[in-house]
Amino acid sequence: MGKVRLPKIVVIVGPTASGKSVLAVRLARRVGGEIVSADSRLLYKGMDIGTAKPPRDSGAPRRMTGPALYMSSGVPHHLIDVAMPSRTLTLADYKRRAIRAIRGILKRGRVPILVGGTGLYVRAIVDNLQIPEVPPDMKYRASLERKGKGWILKRLKKLDPDYAARIGPNPRYATRALEVMRATGKPFGAQQGKGEPLFDALVVGIDPGKKALDVRIDRRIDAMVKTGLVVEVKKLARRYAWDLPSMSGIGYRELKAHFEGDISLKEAIDDIKTNTRRYAKRQMTWWRRINKVKWFRTPSEAFRVSENWLKSGK
């Protein structure tokens, strides 16, 4: 028997503000595609400006065939606005929803385009990570929160040094790992083995270079502030606790310090820019470890390669 040909998907990765979304929309329009978000922050309703969420088309339906669907620039987007900020979605939750969305797109005869900057989300699909199905333990998470970020990271480094090195100083991922290890009694990294691939994935990355990226980040954040970021965060803070994972993202936590009188608004905005640049650097470090990514300086280069690959019979 010949080798079974897997369905093709295009995966677009890269740091924040690199131009992934613009490329994804352009490619989707050309090849008849639908976009599946691989961004942990775009999952949440009401968190729009601070997450640089693509604007919803006016008059677009709120739900279509398959999972909750979001229309932007005339292109269907999946896994955007699928949960309230008060809800905690695990990596296993994301993987299950994303695979369902991708298979639905393929069934409709269209091209799935996975886009995002959350490395574990992308790996969960591309590498078919085998993820333990352990529900969130909010009491245990609260106890870890009280111990502080430093303690959490040190604890993970002691119990699962390989996984700690893989994720870097990310307290949210570290908390989840400790939670799963507490429930299973096994190292978290060892429970994330690769399964047989589900899709034939072309993974393209956009890397405009640090200097250009820093300029884009500053411009993006200035635009966020101008279009109402402060008002958005105030509104969310009235409804949701600051210790929720959804409220811990860059652009939200810095304004918390401002609202509490610890820093000025200008200082908060400067902190958002600095932390976003640091986050972009961590993203690039993550992506550089994945050898299968084909890197391009501009979205146009990545577009040509992606289109040609989809047209090829290989």
**Domain locations in the chain as residue ranges:** 8-131+196-208+292-311, 138-190, 211-280
Alpha helix ranges (H) inside the chain: 20-31, 91-107, 119-126, 138-147, 149-159, 161-167, 171-184, 210-226, 229-239, 253-259, 265-288, 299-311
Query: Which CATH architecture fits 211-280?
Result: Orthogonal Bundle (1.10)
Instruction: Give the fold, CATH level 3, of 8-131+196-208+292-311.
Output: Rossmann fold (3.40.50)
With a CB cutoff of 8 Å and minimum separation 6, the contacts of 252 are 47, 50, 233, 236
pLDDT, tens digit only, all 314 positions of the chain: 456 789 999 999 999 999 999 999 999 999 999 999 999 999 999 999 999 999 999 865 555 444 557 999 999 999 999 999 998 888 889 999 999 999 999 999 999 999 988 988 999 999 998 887 788 888 888 888 888 888 999 999 899 988 888 777 778 788 888 988 898 888 887 777 788 999 999 999 999 999 999 999 999 999 999 999 999 999 999 999 998 888 988 999 999 999 999 999 999 999 999 999 999 998 888 888 777 899 999 999 999 999 999 998 65
| Residue 308 confidence (pLDDT) | 95
* Residue 106 CA: distances (Å) to CA of 4, 191, 218: 16, 29, 38
Same fold, 8-131+196-208+292-311 and 211-280: no
Q: Which of 117, 125, 119, 126 is nearest to 18 (CA)?
A: 117
